């Protein structure tokens, strides 16, 4: 196991607290503890499965009764987690799902993996975090470890969770132990499963840090302790702001180089041959997923409290947010150039509504904004996605909920004027797509990667 935590100064604790901590650590090391994971989505469910496979008893808690029923029946609702996996864990008796928060009392550790979206004003929406914390507070008992994994701004764990948890008289660091460990889930990445990704951990005091490290030591490849809750909260924001800013840079370079007749994809491939001082990032139709489009604005919002203006972060957000409009403008321009068609009445096929390839996650997908903008220009829009049979309800684009993916057959696509590749799923036959359609707008460079370079394929 990793020994980086030896660099952290550990304060003493009174005898009662020390006994609680030692007893819980012993159960973690023996894998005899019960772990509750609250929020069984793209972060919580993989974590729950990973912890259960390590031999712990896992109680998955979710307010969605449909999810609870599916899991207890041995079925998965996330594409990269197989139903066989869930069924096997159910048979071992190490995993059960429930909507009953009173069962929190059974757990030695409680891990919160609930959504942290933005409001329409791009301010943090911590409603799920607050409601979940209020739901577990009545059932806390002495000795429990509570870990928040949801992405948030520095100060959330100490300033919001801790006061709620202490309302009934228990005290953090004496009766229960509060920690923060940012989720680092990458859906669809076979190389880095939950267990293979190091966990950053910050605690509200030395005992909380010891407990959190002791738990995650038994679950993931190694833990990386930091000095405080706030430092751990800042780590996740830093990771995703780094990605957001660099993606914005290549999106801007795509626009600049495109005006000069230079292929940005060719430039990136050549640049990344440099063995030092360069890391490849790629342009696209806009940012998607629950992290990169949202997390930077958590820090932007919090920075105002300290009188700091995050100009770099906000500029990156502006560039990335503008990309769907650029894709639509290029599509309309290409329609006019290639077929003399106006956008009004044009039939456009969107290829991929998941935010990234080979997953079924549509959260914050730029495809929805592209669909919205095309329809505002009078286009008739349909979509194909091998991972998404039906568009789920979303906060920003409720009008698309229930729309179903069409099959990608020659007859089905014969009447379309163009296709816009928003997500480059491996399961799509792009060669046939190029053969069947008069125009293909490629935002992911997938056609060029497959050698499909014709005048009918336009990069955007």
Q: Are 419 and 433 contacting, i.e. CB atoms less than 8 angstroms apart?
A: yes
Q: Give the predicted TM-score (pTM) of the model.
A: 0.90
Catalytic residue set: 291
Whole-number pLDDT of residue 14:
60
Whole-number pLDDT of residue 258:
94
Whole-number pLDDT of residue 80:
85
Whole-number pLDDT of residue 319:
95
CA dist 140 → 2, 163, 421 (Å): 30, 13, 49
Q: Are 1 and 23 contacting, i.e. CB atoms less than 8 angstroms apart?
A: no
Residue whose tokens read 């080979």: 358
Q: Are 325 and 373 contacting, i.e. CB atoms less than 8 angstroms apart?
A: yes
Whole-number pLDDT of residue 188:
74
Reduced to 3 states (helix: H, G, I; strand: E, B; else coil), residue 272 is: coil
Q: Are 425 and 352 contacting, i.e. CB atoms less than 8 angstroms apart?
A: yes
Alpha-carbon distance of 365 to 412, in angstroms, equals: 24
What does the block give as tokens for 445? Answer: 């460079």
Residue whose tokens read 């005899």: 32
Whole-number pLDDT of residue 15:
63
Whole-number pLDDT of residue 10:
39
Reduced to 3 states (helix: H, G, I; strand: E, B; else coil), residue 94 is: coil
Nearest to 386 by CA among 364, 409, 415, 416: 409
For residue 147, list its beta bridge partners. Answer: 111, 179
Q: What is the DSSP letter of 404?
A: B
Residue whose tokens read 């935590």: 5
pLDDT, tens digit only, all 460 positions of the chain: 343 333 333 344 466 678 889 999 999 999 999 999 999 999 999 999 999 999 999 999 999 999 999 999 999 999 889 999 999 999 999 999 999 999 999 999 999 999 999 888 888 999 999 999 999 999 999 999 999 999 999 999 999 999 999 999 999 999 999 999 999 988 777 788 899 999 999 999 999 999 999 999 999 999 999 999 999 999 999 999 999 999 999 999 999 999 999 999 999 999 999 999 999 999 999 998 877 888 889 999 999 999 999 999 999 999 999 999 999 999 999 999 988 889 999 999 999 999 999 999 999 999 999 999 999 999 999 999 999 999 999 888 999 999 999 999 999 999 999 999 999 999 999 999 999 999 999 999 999 999 998 999 999 9
What does the block give as tokens for 319? Answer: 């560039």
Supply the Cα-derived Rg of the chain in whole angstroms.
24
Residue whose tokens read 């179903």: 404
Whole-number pLDDT of residue 13:
44
Structural domains in the chain plus CATH codes: 4-227 (3.40.50.720), 243-459 (3.40.50.720)
Residue whose tokens read 């969605």: 64
């Amino acid at each position: 196991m990793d020994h980086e935590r030896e660099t952290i100064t550990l304060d003493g604790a009174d005898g009662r607290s020390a006994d609680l901590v030692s007893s819980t650590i012993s159960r973690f090391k023996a894998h005899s503890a019960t772990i509750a994971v609250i929020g069984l989505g793209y972060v919580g469910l993989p974590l729950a499965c990973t912890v259960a496979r390590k031999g712990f008893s896992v109680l998955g808690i979710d307010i969605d009764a449909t999810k609870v029923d599916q899991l207890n029946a041995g079925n998965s609702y996330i594409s990269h987690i197989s139903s066989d996996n869930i069924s096997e864990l159910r048979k071992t008796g190490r995993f059960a799902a429930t909507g009953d928060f009173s069962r929190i009392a059974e757990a030695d550790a409680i891990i919160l993996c609930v959504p942290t979206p933005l409001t329409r004003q791009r301010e943090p929406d911590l409603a799920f975090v607050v409601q979940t914390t209020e739901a577990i507070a009545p059932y806390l008992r002495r000795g429990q470890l509570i870990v928040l994994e949801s992405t948030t701004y520095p100060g959330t764990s100490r300033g919001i969770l801790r006061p709620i948890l202490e309302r009934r008289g228990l005290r953090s660091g004496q009766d229960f132990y509060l920690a923060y460990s940012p989720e680092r889930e990458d859906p669809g990445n076979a190389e880095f499963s939950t267990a293979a990704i190091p966990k950053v951990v910050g605690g509200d005091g030395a005992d909380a840090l010891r407990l959190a490290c002791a738990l995650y030591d038994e679950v993931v490849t190694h833990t990386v302790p930091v000095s405080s809750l706030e430092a751990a909260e800042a780590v996740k924001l830093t990771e995703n702001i780094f990605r957001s800013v660099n993606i914005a840079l290549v999106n801007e370079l795509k626009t600049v180089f495109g005006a000069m007749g230079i292929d940005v994809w060719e430039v990136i491939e050549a640049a990344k041959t440099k063995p030092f001082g360069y890391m490849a990032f790629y342009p696209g139709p806009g940012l998607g997923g629950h992290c990169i489009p949202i997390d930077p604005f958590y820090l932007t919002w919090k920075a105002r409290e300290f009188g700091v203006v995050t100009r770099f972060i906000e500029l990156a957000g502006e560039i990335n947010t503008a990309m769907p409009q650029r894709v639509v403008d290029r599509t309309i321009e290409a329609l006019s150039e290639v077929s003399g068609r106006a956008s009004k009445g044009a039939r456009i096929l969107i290829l991929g509504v998941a935010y990234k390839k080979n997953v079924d996650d549509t959260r914050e997908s730029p495809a929805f904004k592209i669909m919205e903008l095309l329809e505002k220009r009078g286009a008739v829009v349909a979509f194909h996605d091998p991972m998404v049979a039906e568009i789920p309800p979303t906060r920003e684009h409720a009008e698309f909920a229930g729309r179903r993916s069409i099959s990608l057959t020659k007859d089905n696509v014969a009447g379309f004027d163009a296709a816009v590749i928003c997500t480059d799923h491996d399961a799509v036959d792009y060669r046939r797509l190029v053969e069947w359609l008069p125009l293909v707008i490629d935002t992911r460079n997938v056609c060029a990667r497959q050698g499909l370079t014709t005048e009918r394929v336009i990069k955007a």
